Structure 1
Amino acid sequence: MTTDTAPEPSPDDDLVADLRLGVMRMRRRLVNERHPDNDLSISHMGVLAMLHRHGACTPSRLAQLERVQPPSMTRTVNLLADRGLVSRAPDAVDRRVTHVHLTDAGRAVLAADRHRRDAWLARRLDELDHSDREALRRAASVLLRLAQED
């Protein structure tokens, strides 16, 4: 018989809690700073960003990248296509395969949204002294490494 015991406290427990809380609060603030004309969900914006970052993708690849089920991605792509933010085109070799492309309108929505959030963050960073900005510069690369997929 095994007994479940609480893990031993770690010297990093406070760091873990502070990072989790800080990252969650920063995400919430950045979400709240979205462009007011943008009524797309964060998930929809994530698909636009993924297409911007990776180029054209199949819906199944987008589902994999966004960690959602293919039927959910199909609904998302349909909504984005209906709004003219993405387009679909058949593969040149295998006509059964469809590629989703970011349109100019999709790029504009993404750019406006990013610009507003980046401007808010830049204003907040301007309030910090040089040493705090340098600490965040170093922390940003560490956070990106931590967030990478296994």
Structure 2
Amino acid sequence: MKKSPLSHQTRTDAGLAAVLRVTVGRLARRLRAQRLDASLSLGQGAALFTLARHGEMTPGELADHEKVQPPSMTRIVAALEERGLVRRTKHPEDQRRQLVDLTDEGRDLVRADQRRREAWLAQRLKELSPEEKDTLRRAAEILDRLTQS
């Protein structure tokens, strides 16, 4: 197998960290470029994907999950609600609190966006050898573990 031009940079943990930061960032930018609705801010898109993945939650829980301040999440939720992508309802146990959930339109947008990004990435994966795909499968598991710690 041919050596990567990056292999000399990844010999140390610091070098590997630098290469991963740049490479993962570049991949994230390429995937963001495939967004279906570029008029959504990155924060709005992240909130939609979180609700799709985890279901309804309070704005505070959503802010905690997305690591933003509650006032910022309040603005994000208001903008998404105005576009008909989320709805707010009263919390069943505490009428002073609200729950945020996707509307059907919001759920459809998330699904279509996921399909588009995954199709782009699947097309790129076709360019790789079976061995490279096996390496990526193992790397995906490791990267997922890194995001959990």
Return the offset for 1:13. Answer: 2.3
CA distance, structure 2, for counterparts of residue 50 and residue 75 of structure 1: 16
Return the offset for 1:38. Answer: 3.9
The code of the aligned residue for 2:52 comes to H
CA distance, structure 1, for counterparts of residue 104 and residue 141 of structure 2: 30
Which residue pairs with 1:44 in the alignment? 44
Which residue pairs with 2:8 in the alignment? none
Return the offset for 1:111. Answer: 1.2
Counterpart mapping for 1:1-150 below 5 A: 11-35=12-36, 37-148=37-148, 150=149
CA distance, structure 1, for counterparts of residue 125 and residue 40 of structure 2: 27
Instruction: Please provide the CA RMSD for this pair.
Output: 1.2
Return the offset for 1:89. Answer: 0.5
- Deviation digits for residues 79-131 of structure 1, max 9, x if unmatched? 10111100011011210010001111001111111111111100000110000
Which residue pairs with 1:4 in the alignment? none
Aligned length: 139
SS at structure 2 position matched to 1:99: strand
- Deviation digits for residues 55-98 of structure 1, max 9, x if unmatched? 10000000000000000000000010111100011011210010
CA distance, structure 1, for counterparts of residue 28 and residue 145 of structure 2: 17
CA distance, structure 1, for counterparts of residue 113 and residue 89 of structure 2: 26
TM-score by length of 2: 0.89
Contact kept, 8 Å, 1:38 with 1:113, in 2: the verdict is no
The code of the aligned residue for 1:77 comes to V
Contact kept, 8 Å, 1:38 with 1:109, in 2: the verdict is no
TM-score by length of 1: 0.88
Identity of aligned residues (%): 49
Which residue pairs with 1:7 in the alignment? none
SS at structure 1 position matched to 2:128: coil
Return the offset for 1:43. Answer: 1.0
CA distance, structure 2, for counterparts of residue 146 and residue 94 of structure 1: 37
CA distance, structure 2, for counterparts of residue 16 and residue 83 of structure 1: 39
CA distance, structure 2, for counterparts of residue 108 and residue 42 of structure 1: 18
